Structure 1
Amino acid sequence: METRSNHVLVGAVVLILLALVALFTVWIARIGGAEERDYDIFFRQAVDGLAKGSSVTFSGVPSGQVKSISLWKPDPQYVRVRISVNNDTPILRGTTATIQGSFTGTSTVSLDGAIKGAQPITCPEGDAAKSVCPLGVPVIPTKTGGIGAILNSAPQLLERLSTLTERLTGMLSDRNQASIAGILDNTNRLTDALADRGPEIAATLAQTRIAIQQAGNAAEQIGALAQTTNGVLANDVQPAMANLNKAITSAQQSADTLNSAIGDARPGLTTFSKQTIPQVNQLVRDLRVTASSLKSISERVEQGGASSLVGQPALPDYKGK
């Protein structure tokens, strides 16, 4: 009985000591370790190579680990990744998360892009927290990059490569190949013809250069002729034009003098036309009357003599039957 009681006592002491050691170890770990904060990341892409316990880095510096991975039930297109990072990691506004793959098949969550002086990513208070932090922890936005971006765009890339291959196959059909061969043959014949015509082409180019030179000389001669014409105009035509201008000026002055003389004679002409001409007309009429009277007197003298001027004309004798 005593032996069994001693064994139970020893076992109890050992268990107590082990518990104390475990508690001491946890306490030491808490003292030596830093506090951590949890964040959610919603990836709209495959998370191949990512698992619970995968490393989380900030700008390449190990800063935490992945705590859990699950599909987001409200929208299965998203994969929710819960991470925990050290409390001193600067998860500020502008920080984004990407999945960095490797050739070994393991992936890590990479954080970067924090803006200096920005506020930390936290959950707001009130009703807005449900939309911003649906599971009660802050959400870090994502961006596609690295191998993940290549893998996500791989289907589109393969589709485009397939389309390009089909088009190239259509272009390289037997008919198109024959056409391309014909074009190459024609090009070769044209090249040979140009090579054979090389001397003629060179002669043509030489003649062209001579023609261009002659055209330049003709242009210079035309310029000299234009200068000579300008000189003639300046030396001969301009004096003649000056004399002509003087003659025109003299004629203008003469015309002005004649206009002045006519203006001076105009009152006399007016008086002559209004007074003298009517008087002359009256004189002519009086002369006509006088001439008629003299004609009548001469006729009376001829018929009756001078006595007819002072007496009545004698009546003719009447003889009765």
Structure 2
Amino acid sequence: MNPKINYTLVGGFVVLLILAGLFFIGYMTQDSRNTDRVAYVTYFYDSVSGLNERAAVKYRGVPVGYVEKISLVNDPEERVKLSLRLDNDLPIRKSTFATLQFQGITGLLFIDLHTSDTQGERLETSEKQPATIASQSSRLGEITEKVDVALQNFNQLTKSLNQLTDQLSVLTNQRMQQQVSSLLTSLEQLSNTAEERISAFEPQVFNQLAHDFSDSTKELQASLTQELQLMSQQLQNLSEDTQTSARLLSPLLLQAENLAEQLRLESNTWIRSNQTQPAGPGE
């Protein structure tokens, strides 16, 4: 007689066995260095397109950590903030700087750290106040920017060439050729007509007219000069007569002033002589 099979116990045992297997696999694949890693931050002003979270951080080509978080700082400089987790025993110094580098031909980016002074002072960091690692533009990024600028200039040149080709195609159009030919013919006819008109003029007539005009100008200039001289002489004579009259009037004015003074004195005498004298005693 077969005993009854408890499927609940069997199922529970299988679940426990699976969980134990997953725990063992996770434990074996766990990176023990994550518990010994500390926080750092760095800022980039360039685009970080191609850089993902959990991207590798290398120090002189050796993996030493990963990118924990990528965020954009809302300030006037519009920087990209990268939160890093690096090995605790990594010699991060004040002269250490971070650059963006391409990983193979995949187009993905990673952070590469370099130190210019291996004897410099080390950066002190903590979980609450992570130390800031300086950043520099990578040469590959600069080359990429220059290539982009060159491509833009090439596209602009291509567009200009296309426009020039369109204009040349318009000029080579049969209708445009007819219009240009008609314009050239009209210009030729106008040139011939102007030449005929100019050749029909008699140079002697213009020479005589110019000579007569010159003579008239000279006569007018002489007449004006004579009139101005006569007017200047008359003004000079008038000025001399005025000065002479002023010299003659000066004594007369002096005599008139003396006469007026005498009249004033005599009038005072006449006024006093006409007054009635009081009668004396016995009169």
Which TM-score tier does this pair reach, normalised by the shorter chain?
A: 0.3 to 0.5
**Which is helix-richer, 1 or 2?**
1
**Which is strand-richer, 1 or 2?**
2
**TM-score, normalised via structure 1 length:** 0.39
Mark the structure with the bigger radius of gyration.
Answer: 1
| Highest RCO, 1 vs 2 (Cα 8 Å, sep ≥ 6) | 2
